[in-house]
Structure 1
Amino acid sequence: MTPLALIDNLEHLPNPFTQFDQVTHQLTNYENKLEQTDYRRDLQLALCFIYSYNGSVATFNSYRREVERLILWSWQTQQCPTTSLRREQIEEFIHFCMSPPQEWIGTKNVSRFKNHMGARIQNPTWRPFVAHVSKLDFKEGETPLAKHHTLSQAAIRATFSILSSYYGFLMQEDAVQQNPVALIRQKSKFVKKEVTRKQVRRISNLQWDYVIDTAEELAEEDPVTHERTLFIMNALLGMYLRISELVADERSAPVMGDFIKDADGHWWFKVLSKGNKERLVAVSDDMLSALIRYRKFRNLPALPTVAESTPLIPKNRGQGAMTSSRQVRNIVQFCFDKSYEKMCSEGLATDADDLRVATVHWLRHTGISEDVKTRPKEHVREDAGHASMATTDKYIDTEYRERHASGRKKLIRPH
């Protein structure tokens, strides 16, 4: 049977600790299950666990996705609540996620619930899994097919991690006696061990020169539209920001007053990063010049004042801060596409290739990779907001350069 969603988006989800009946009222197709105490308790526990991550929509969505898939699979294929699952059933579930039936797979992202006559109802076109095609294939006209759905290694690791946390929560609630995910000893048959460090995905210095030149040209031609574009590109690379740190959401709304001058006259940018942790990013002279240019265009004083509440990135229309991360992606993609076309027209098609597949996050990687060549890695780590030095170390390519230099003269036909 094709499953329907169980858990609505955070902004529409009643507090399951106090308003659980309002949640179940929407789930008309699961009425028979929810009349049984075990299933009703199962859903309430799951909702309470997921709802505890309501401080971040992205984290909430990740935990909801994994736990909801498990509930749907457990209820429909095992005919039992998740509190009754054993280790071997969890292994079976992982196999299921790696190759789900086509009726569980969608080919585009759709809403889980929709509004109907003043009520929230389950969307029949929603699916627990979604097939995707690469950015390059999509540009060339390919469309996703359910039969081509695959689960990445990162997704499998996330499934293990989140479900282990879920069963840890159930143990604390005395709903289960042990954690069946933790009992899986041979996780290696699902998750491959990486034998070497992955290369960081970034654009080259030549590509960045073309990208920022393109942004500057766009700003000269159409400042009303593209002065903001230029500032966004500078901020993403120059301060290695994530999209979530640039747009407004339920946690924070970046404002000009987040640029702070200390007692020594040095400028910093205050960021609310992952895990609701604040960090200060050192603002370079070039980044400060980019900020001054952007503020002058917006008819603001050259530099921010203390506690200035002007939105950092304004909406296209109306008042307030930009809230759409998709809009930022579109802006960056437009610059990448224009830069790719320009490089190709100048005979640099081979050098331009990465711009066809690059994403916004590559700019963060590029900024960190460049800075770690000349700055103490401890300073870069603090600016980037990395939890450990091991994460920053991934951006140090000296070992790779030396290794490749020693290997370039390897002979296929030795003397």
Structure 2
Amino acid sequence: MELIPRPCFGTLQEFAFLNPETLDGELPIVMDFLNRCPVGSLPIKSYILVKQFLARHAEPTRYANYRACVERLLLWSILEAKKPLTDLNEDDVQEFMGFCATPPDSWVANNSCRRFTPAKQRSAVRFNPNWCPFCFNKPAGNEERMAYIAGRSGLAMQMSVVASFFLELHCDDLVTINPAQRLHAAGFYAPNHAVHTGANIFNDEELAALMLTLRDMADEDIKHERTLLMIATVYYLRLQPSEIDSLGADLTISALGLTGDGTYDLVEDKFPGRWAWKIHPEFLTNYVNRYRERLGRQFIPSERDQTLLLGKIRGKGSICSGHARLTFRTVCKTVIERLTSSGCVVAPNSALRTASLLWLRETSLHHATRTMGMDEVIRLVRNSGAETAFQRYFAWRD
């Protein structure tokens, strides 16, 4: 009798109680399913590898997407390929991606639904018979059911997660060759059409003109050192306007801590998404240290410097997002005036004329995609789903 694909992982809250290294606390119904799978596919071993991968990505912004993608790979490997995950080669991965493009009807649900039936006792939990690894975005209703065909962005997301999974196996010396590396690098499953066109960001010349003008303003008048530090903070910390309001009072120089890879992070637990900031060291070198020197604070150890990164020019406390927006627009006007007076033509559609404060964050995130992998960038986005981040910052690129 052919086995029906069944869910292996619950919600993020339920997953948090599992031990990545052992089978303690597993749902009995899941263990029973895995024990009935082909023995040659080493289902338990493959399951543990997937669980360990998910444990490294057990965050609200990515868990559900990663779970869906890597669970499909697990089920396909043990039910269709009948091979352990560590035995899959490049041809297998390519076959799996073809399977994801047009899965059989038995793997596709009419709509999204619960994975398990709720029960007070874990031993009483059962599979929801309506669940499948794939599902249509909308209910089929009374209309004749159409064949499921995956979208390009969905396949690209699937490929990225699969590549990340095998990359981790390779880094842990569990596979000698990453079978997804060449396929992913070649962009075989990248979207044909741009999901995001790169709008609402500064180009390199505009950003350079903005920061150079700010430096000149600060050189001419020390009160603008605070403005320079504020703009640099929004850019390098990729702050949303709402985060200026909610975090500004706690964003001090002392909160910046050096990490093992040479970047900086906000080391206090009060900041959401610990290790999700990855601040480039040039922020400290070119802006924070400059401010400390100009204001005579370089003799205070930075870890004890309580100076606010978003502090007011006059008075105590941090600025609000409204004040930050007004300051930013004023600086942009000054940039345009200085460029015009020097003989440069600033186009009517230039970002310097139309940009909002949020453009600084968007520009910083797009710059991050030049040197960072998708996993790292998704961490930096914060408060956004993995697929949304992928489409916004990766899928549109050539």
Matched residues in 1 for 2:73 and 2:179: separation? 13
Counterpart contact for 1:15–1:51, Cα < 8 Å: no
Q: Supply the RMSD in Å over aligned alpha carbons.
A: 4.6
Instruction: Write the letter of the residue equivalent to 1:106.
Output: A
CA shift in 2, pair 1:193/1:37, >3 Å:
closer
Matched residues in 2 for 1:100 and 1:197: separation? 28
Instruction: Write the letter of the residue equivalent to 1:388.
Output: H
Instruction: Write the letter of the residue equivalent to 1:12.
Output: E
Matched residues in 2 for 1:181 and 1:168: separation? 8
Greater relative CO (CA pairs within 8 A, separation 6+): 2
Give TM-score, length-normalised by structure 1. 0.49
Matched residues in 2 for 1:23 and 1:241: separation? 39
Counterpart contact for 2:166–2:178, Cα < 8 Å: yes
Task: Using the aligned pairs only, state the percent identity.
Answer: 17
1:52 CA drift (Å): 0.9
Give TM-score, length-normalised by structure 2. 0.51
Which residue is 1:169 aligned to?
Answer: 168
Which residue is 1:312 aligned to?
Answer: none
Instruction: Write the letter of the residue equivalent to 2:277.
Output: K
CA shift in 2, pair 1:144/1:52, >3 Å:
farther
1:118 aligns with 2:121: yes
Unpaired runs of 5+ residues, structure 1, are 202-238, 246-253, 264-269, 289-369, 396-415
1:256 CA drift (Å): 7.5
Give 3-state SS (helix, strand or coil) of 2:163's partner. Answer: helix
1:29 aligns with 2:29: no
1:283 aligns with 2:262: no
Unpaired runs of 5+ residues, structure 2, are 201-237, 253-269, 280-309, 311-318, 327-348, 370-390, 393-398
Instruction: Write the letter of the residue equivalent to 2:172.
Output: E
Counterpart contact for 1:167–1:179, Cα < 8 Å: yes
1:113 CA drift (Å): 2.1
Kindly report which structure 2 residues correspond to 1:1-16, keeping only aligned pairs within 5 A, or say none: 1-13=3-15, 14-16=17-19
Matched residues in 2 for 1:91 and 1:51: separation? 26
Instruction: Write the letter of the residue equivalent to 1:58.
Output: T
1:165 CA drift (Å): 1.1
Matched residues in 2 for 1:159 and 1:198: separation? 22
1:122 CA drift (Å): 2.4
Which residue is 1:47 aligned to?
Answer: 51
Matched residues in 2 for 1:51 and 1:35: separation? 25
Instruction: Write the letter of the residue equivalent to 1:46.
Output: V
CA shift in 2, pair 1:123/1:101, >3 Å:
same
1:382 aligns with 2:360: yes
Counterpart contact for 2:111–2:137, Cα < 8 Å: yes
Matched residues in 1 for 2:144 and 2:22: separation? 39
CA shift in 2, pair 1:143/1:163, >3 Å:
farther
Counterpart contact for 1:130–1:146, Cα < 8 Å: no
Matched residues in 2 for 1:103 and 1:274: separation? 41
Which residue is 1:87 aligned to?
Answer: 90
Matched residues in 1 for 2:365 and 2:130: separation? 39
Give 3-state SS (helix, strand or coil) of 1:90's partner. Answer: helix
Matched residues in 2 for 1:107 and 1:60: separation? 23
Which residue is 1:76 aligned to?
Answer: 79
Counterpart contact for 1:42–1:82, Cα < 8 Å: yes
Which residue is 1:63 aligned to?
Answer: 66
Give 3-state SS (helix, strand or coil) of 1:179's partner. Answer: coil
Instruction: Write the letter of the residue equivalent to 2:365.
Output: A
Kindly report which structure 2 residues correspond to 1:3-402, keeping only aligned pairs within 5 A, or say none: 3-13=5-15, 14-23=17-26, 25-27=28-30, 28-33=32-37, 38-54=42-58, 56-119=59-122, 120-133=125-138, 147-184=146-183, 187=186, 189-194=188-193, 198=197, 258=247, 260=249, 272=272, 276-277=276-277, 283-284=321-322, 372=351, 374=353, 380-384=358-362, 386-389=364-367
Matched residues in 1 for 2:351 and 2:239: separation? 12
Instruction: Write the letter of the residue equivalent to 1:105.
Output: V
Matched residues in 1 for 2:121 and 2:157: separation? 36
Give 3-state SS (helix, strand or coil) of 2:182's partner. Answer: coil
Counterpart contact for 2:41–2:78, Cα < 8 Å: no
Give 3-state SS (helix, strand or coil) of 1:177's partner. Answer: coil
Counterpart contact for 2:41–2:82, Cα < 8 Å: no
Aligned residues: 251
Which segment is superposed worse, 108-117 or 56-65? 108-117
Give 3-state SS (helix, strand or coil) of 2:365's partner. Answer: coil
Counterpart contact for 2:108–2:136, Cα < 8 Å: yes
CA shift in 2, pair 1:283/1:146, >3 Å:
farther
Which residue is 2:265 aligned to?
Answer: none
CA shift in 2, pair 1:169/1:132, >3 Å:
same
Which residue is 2:395 aligned to?
Answer: none
CA shift in 2, pair 1:388/1:91, >3 Å:
same
Matched residues in 2 for 1:142 and 1:29: separation? 30
